[in-house]
Amino acid sequence: MADMLNLKCDAWLLPTDSTVRIEQHWLRANPDLRGIAAASASKDFRAGTVLAEPVAPWELADPLPVLTAVPLDGTWDSTTVALRLEAFVRAATSAASSPALRPYRLLAVPFFGTAGGGAGNHLGAMLRGLLDVCANLASEFAVDLVIVLRDKAAFSLAQKLRRDAGGSACWPSLGDGLHAKAQELGELARSGHLVPFLGAGVSVSAGAPSWRELLTALRAGVELEEGAAAAFEKLAVLDQAGVLEQLYIDQHGSRAAFGEAVARAVDLQRYGLAPALLAAVPSSGAITLNYDRLFELACHDAQRPRTVLPENIPAVGNSWLLKLHGSVSQPASIVLTRDDYLGYNSNREALSALVKAHLLTHHLLFVGFGLADDHFHEIVHDVRRALPKGLSEGHHMGTVLSLFHEPLQSMVWKGKLDILSMPAESSAEHGNADQSRLALATSGRELEIFLDMLAAYATDNHSYLLAPAYDAGMNHAETQLRAQLLKLAVQPRPPGTEEVWALLDETLERLGHSGSNNEESAS
């Protein structure tokens, strides 16, 4: 559940036809997209002999749109979708540059052909076909395909179909142990007991800087005295940040300039897969140390908006995101220097208390998070101290998803945190720098796959059941249940049953029933 134009990917499928007609909502990618695409489309594409080709020229920094033709006559079957998706993948892999942060190109596909391409009347069958074709193409062309959906019914049915297929079919690289953990965590999320805790690694796939890269970017905005560079490099990172803050004050006239420089360095416009997958996981709360706005944007696009704390107090609604170390929306709130950390408890004790309460009452899922953060250690220490004597050792607070095999950290956190390492990390500590980067990228991809499986098992929506045109995606038992519920929806409502019918109508609506399928109900 995302907005494809806000997703960081290498290329995306732009639905059109041989006349190069482009719907209004795609113009957010570029207001001049219609003109650029019309000038880009070749004679062969317009003649229908080429089914997909990249838009050119295009900004290299932006995901590449690939014109992909739906049939003009509106006919749509499994062969039609397979041919066009294969043409899209071929065109995208030949034109899109090799990814810098992933082992495979990431190609984004909308619910192709359902808005005006002819598949809108049989959405369930189309969804089954889309899943099958994408799985085959991903394997054949060694790419990652992400199906981006905007409709809750389509999303819930897609996840249900994948759960029915099983872990070995849809997530084969993870292995039985991680399959079991992803399913367990997904079911925890469905029950309302999982709280995501996001670290910097969640934003890396979108191009966010590491701590060291952030300091390097900040250093470019000030001048160090001649000969001070070597001494600066020897400082601890918190002290480097403190020096840079003082230099910004001295050279730019205020501390605000420092906060604004941090905000510019981390304020990205497109989220990667990790925030998008986590945004679909049901949870009342989420916690992050990140300054960027990627997760709240992903939550908005997943139709699960969150109130950001502490900048919105009192919180409105039941879903919130606690930004412990500040936000780019309020640069003065950013926690980066040693002084910031030392002053944290006196300034934000209530925020830490919220984290501690969730460590006591929920299961936290730490993603993209290094366990060396002093603030995290302090919070965990206070939670353990608050527990009755004898219970602190056995209190299991959460699960950490790690890119590395960390036996010593597992020893330190034994009985408190379950540390899960992703496959393919074994060579990260060996070989040359290129091999280490590849191993790290591969482990990062496996973490995305794990989150994908977790999100599939966490999906608690069944709105496909009564939604129009999804019946071909259901099994026989679901089809029978659908027919019974649709008959119930049009039953007479005698006086004195209004309160009960209000509850039934609410449930039917959650299952996808609306006025648009009343005619189907009556039949």
Q: How far apart are CA 87 and CA 199, in angstroms?
A: 38
Dihedral-angle region of residue 388 (phi above 0 means left; psi in -120 to 50 means alpha; beta otherwise): beta
Q: Which tokens is 43 given?
A: 């004679």
Q: Which tokens is 485 given?
A: 């519920």
Spatial contact of 78 and 99, defined as CB atoms under 8 Å apart: no
Q: How far apart are CA 25 and CA 5, in angstroms?
A: 10
Spatial contact of 325 and 238, defined as CB atoms under 8 Å apart: no
Q: What is the pLDDT along the chain (523 residues), one digit of tens a residue?
A: 999 999 999 999 999 988 999 999 999 999 999 999 999 999 999 999 999 999 999 888 889 999 999 876 666 777 888 999 999 999 999 998 888 778 999 999 998 866 655 556 678 888 888 999 999 999 999 999 999 999 999 999 999 999 999 888 899 999 999 999 999 999 999 999 999 999 888 998 888 888 888 999 999 999 988 888 889 989 988 899 999 999 999 999 888 999 999 999 999 999 999 999 999 999 989 999 899 999 999 999 999 999 998 877 666 667 899 898 889 988 888 888 888 877 766 656 777 777 778 877 889 999 987 666 666 677 677 666 666 665 556 567 889 998 887 777 778 778 788 889 887 644 444 456 667 777 888 889 999 999 999 999 999 889 999 998 888 889 999 999 999 999 999 999 999 999 999 999 999 999 999 865 554 544 4
Report helix angle 211-219 to 237-252, nearest 10.
20
Dihedral-angle region of residue 197 (phi above 0 means left; psi in -120 to 50 means alpha; beta otherwise): beta
DSSP state, 122?
Answer: -
Spatial contact of 16 and 57, defined as CB atoms under 8 Å apart: no
What is the pTM assigned to this prediction? Answer: 0.90
